Chain A
Amino acid sequence: MSGVLVMMEQRNGAWNRMSFEALAAGQQLAEHLGTECSAVVVGRNSGSLSQELASKKLKKVYAIDHELLASYTADGYLAALEQFVKQEAPDYVLFPHTYRVRDFAPALATRFSQVLISDVITIRYGSGSTGSPMFVRQLLQGKLNADYRHTSQGPCFVSVQAGTFRSDAVQEGTASVETFTPQLLPDQIRSKPGEPFRESSQSVDLSSAPLIVSVGRGIGEQDSLSLVEELAQALGAELAASRPICDNGWLPMERQVGSSGQTVSPKLYVAVGISGAIQHLVGMKGSKAVLAINKDENAPIFEIADYGVVGDLFEIVPELTKAVLAAKG
C-alpha cells in the first residue's frame, strides 16, 4: 500500500483517546509526503470502532480481527501485525506512545530489522521533496532534544507522545473498511493476561482539585515534606508528588501526578523541586497556571511554567507560606 499506517488502540470496544492524536500525526505526515494515510484497529468484533474511522480522511480502514486478539497479548499482537505489515508494506507505521505500544512495538520493529523511534514530540519536514522527515524526541529526562532520522530500507516505525498532536485536528472524510484475518494458533500465545484492575485504596481524586501543590526529588528527604504540606494547607491546595517521592514511600501512590498516576488540570499547579521529566509533564501540562520553584535553571519544568523561581526551595517555600497566610488575613 505504501503510504502511512496508523495503529489505533482500543480496549473492550473503547478507544484509547491518544489514538486520535496519532491519527492526526499520520494524516499530517501523509500530506507532507504527498501520500495517503490508512488506519488499523486490532481486536475482536471491533466493527463499530472501524465504522467510526470510516468517516475520517483515510485511504482505508483495516480491522484485524481474530478471537485470540480479544484481549491484548504481545505474542498475539506481534504475530497479527507482522503478517499485516508484511502484506500491506506501508512506508511509515505510527502508534500512540501508550503502555501497550511500549510492550510490543519495539519487537514488531525488530521483526523488520527496524528500530522504533519512540515517544516523538515533533515531526519536522524538509523544504524539498527529497529530505525524509526528522523525528524529534527528548533525551536526559527532557533536558535535551534530539533529531532522529530513518536511514534504512523498510517501514519506519514511530510512536507519538501524548499531547503532541491535537486529536481535534483529525480530518473528516470517507474510507472503506476491510477486515484482515491473521493466522494465529492458541499455543503461539505464551502469556496469560488478567483483567485490568485498580488498587482499592484509590481514594484521592486530584483531577478535580482547583489548586495543587506538588513536590519532587528536590525536597531531598522525607522530613522536609512538612514545608510543602504547610504551603498546600495555606493555599487550601491538594498535595501531590512526582513519581520518585511515591516510589520512596514518602507519599502514597494515589497522590502521584504523571503518566502512571493521575492527570490533573487545576487553576494553579505549584511544582516544588520537580525537574519536569516528560512522564510528569504529561500529567499536568493542562494546568491553567504553573508556578515552578527549582534550583536548576535548565530544569525542563520551566519550559512550561508561567511563573518561575530559580532558587533554594528551603528558603522560598516557607516565605511563600507566610506571605500566603498574610494575604488571606
Chain B
Amino acid sequence: MGIVRQLQHWLGGSGPRIRVSDFVPSDHYLRLFADTFSWAEMVEAVERSMARRFPKESAAGRFPISTRVLLALELLKAELSCSDEQICSRLRTDFALMYACGIKDVQADVHQAHFVLPEVLCRFRSRLDDALMEELLQIQATAALDAGLVSPEHLVVDTYASEQGSQRVTDATTLYKAKKKSSPSSKKSRRNSTKRR
C-alpha cells in the first residue's frame, strides 16, 4: 500500500486550521451520538486486546491511524448504513463525522483525497475478535448503568434470525483493489525518493 495514500490529513495540510467542535452544532445527532460512548475505556480495551494478540515486532515505521478514529468509523458505518468506501469518503468532508471520530482540528488540503482508506478500516476490522466485542458492549452497558440512565432489574430475552447476506464488495476484494491501486502511487513515491537522492 502506498505511503502517500495513507497519510492522515491532520498531520499535514497547508490550509487554515479549523476547530471541528466549533463547527458542529451542539444539538447535532452525530455529536450527541458520539458523546454517549466512553471512548477512553473502549479505545484502551481495543489497544490492550490488539497488543496482546498482535504484538509489534518493531517500533520502526510511521505512527498508525488512531484506534479511536477506526473504532468510531466502524460504529458510524453501522449507524449510517454505509459501506467502507462511503464512510471513509464522508469522513473527508463531513465535520460531524470528524467530531464523532475524535478529530479536533483539521488543516484542509484540497489535494488529499482520503483521511482514512477503506482498506485500513478493513484490516482493523479483521483484527477484532469475539471477546473484545463482548468487552465493548459491557463497557457501554456499565457506563449507562453508572450514569443511572437505565436499570437492569427487569429484562427481556429473545432470539431472532440473522440471515447470511451476500457481500458484493468483500474484505478480500477491498484488499485486492488496494494492492492494485497502491502500485502506481508506490511507484511514484519510489521515483520521488530516487530523484531526491
Q: Do A and B come from one complex?
A: no
